[in-house]
Chains A and B, each alone.
Chain A
Amino acid sequence: MFDLLGTTLPSRLLLGTAQYPSPAILADAVHASGTAVVTVSLRREMAGGKAGEKFWSLIRSLGVRILPNTAGCHSVKEAVTTAQMAREVFGTSWIKLEVIGNHDTLQPDVFGLVEASRILCEDGFSVFPYTTDDLVVAERLLEAGCKVLMPWCAPIGSALGPVNMTALRSMRAFFPDVPLIVDAGLGRPSHAATVIELGFDAVLLNTAVARAADPVGMARAFGKAVEAGREAFCSGMLEPRDVAVPSTPTFGGAVFS
C-alpha cells in the first residue's frame, strides 16, 4: 500500500493510456499491471464526434483514479487553461503538469513549470509537475505549493532508463519526505525496479508497456518489478564491495592434506 497525497493506493505503478494497439488491450494492461492511477489527456473534439465519450466511458469502467495531464502545452497559459478544463471534465483536482520547453527533447520548461505550478496550486490543484532532476528547480516547485515531484530519468519515450543515478540519489536524499515519482524514460521493468530500490516512491510510464510486443505481459512485468524493488528497498540491500566475501562459512572446513 502506498499513501499518495492522502489517497491509499495498492500499487506504486502509475500507467499512461496512450499508444495501445486497442482499447481492449489498454483495459487488460491496466488490470494486469495492478495500477490504481492512469493518466489521460484532452484533445479537440470533432463536431458531432463521440470519440471522447467512448474513451471516457472505457476509463471510468476500469475503476482506477484519473491523473489528467497537460501534454503538448508549451506555455504557462496553455497549461493552466488545459488543467482547468481537465478538472471540469474529469472531476479531479489532480493534474500532471507538463510545460514543454523543446519540441525535440520534450524537456520541461522548468521556469514556466514553476510559474504554472504556483498558479494552479493557488487555484486548489494538486500539482504533479513533470520536471528534471535539478534540485533547485525541485525546491522552487515545492515553494510554489507542489506536494509531489515527478522527475524524468531520461527523455519521454526514450526507454533509456535512469541515465543519471547520481542525480536521482541526490534528489531522494535532499527531499526525504516528498513523494517522488519517476516519470518518463523508463524502458524495462529492471529500470523501474532500480529507481524504486533507490527509494523513489513510484513510477509513471506509458510507452514501455503500450509499445511492447505484448503490452499486457509487460504491464504485469512492470507491476512485479515495482513490487520487488519496493520490498528490496524496505529490506536493506547490501552495499557493493570490491573484494570477494565467501558466502559459505569457512570455520570447520575439512583438511585433506
Chain B
Amino acid sequence: MKLTVNGEAHEIAATTLDELLAALDYEGDWLATAVNSDLVHKSKRAEFQLSDGDRIEILSPMQGG
C-alpha cells in the first residue's frame, strides 16, 4: 500500500495505523497521529484501517513560542 508519512512516500504492508507505527519504529505515548488531516486518537489506532494513498502525520512535542 502506498502511503505518505510526514510528507514522505512509503510502500508499506501495514493495514492499521498501529501496525504502521510499529513498522516504521515509532513508539511512545507522546505521539499524536492524523490521517488525511483528521486526528486519529491513540485509542483508535489499532482499529483504524488505512487505505491506499492515505496521508499520515505523526507529531511529537517541540519547542514553541
List chain A positions with a Cβ less than 8 A from chain B. 16-20, 26, 39-53, 55-56, 59, 68-69, 71, 77-78, 81-82, 84-86, 88-90, 156, 206-207
Contact = CB atoms under 8 A, between A and B. Distances in A.
Given A40-B61, A48-B25, A56-B60, A88 B6 contact: no
Interface of B: 5-7, 24-26, 28, 30-34, 37-39, 41-42, 57-65
Contact of A42 (B28, B37, B62): B62
A55 B34 CA distance: 21
Given A81-B38, A88-B32, A40 B58 contact: no
A69 B31 CA distance: 16
Contacts of B33: 85
B65 A18 contact: yes
A45 B59 CA distance: 5
Contacts, number: 108
Given A52-B61, A71-B65, A81-B38, A42 B24 contact: no
Contacts of B37: 77-78, 81
A41 B39 contact: no
Contact of A90 (B41, B42, B61): B61
Given A77-B37, A81-B37, A40 B63 contact: yes
Nearest to A55: B61
Contact of B58 (A26, A44, A207): A44
10 contacts: A16-B64, A42-B64, A44-B57, A47-B25, A51-B62, A52-B61, A59-B61, A71-B65, A78-B37, A89-B61
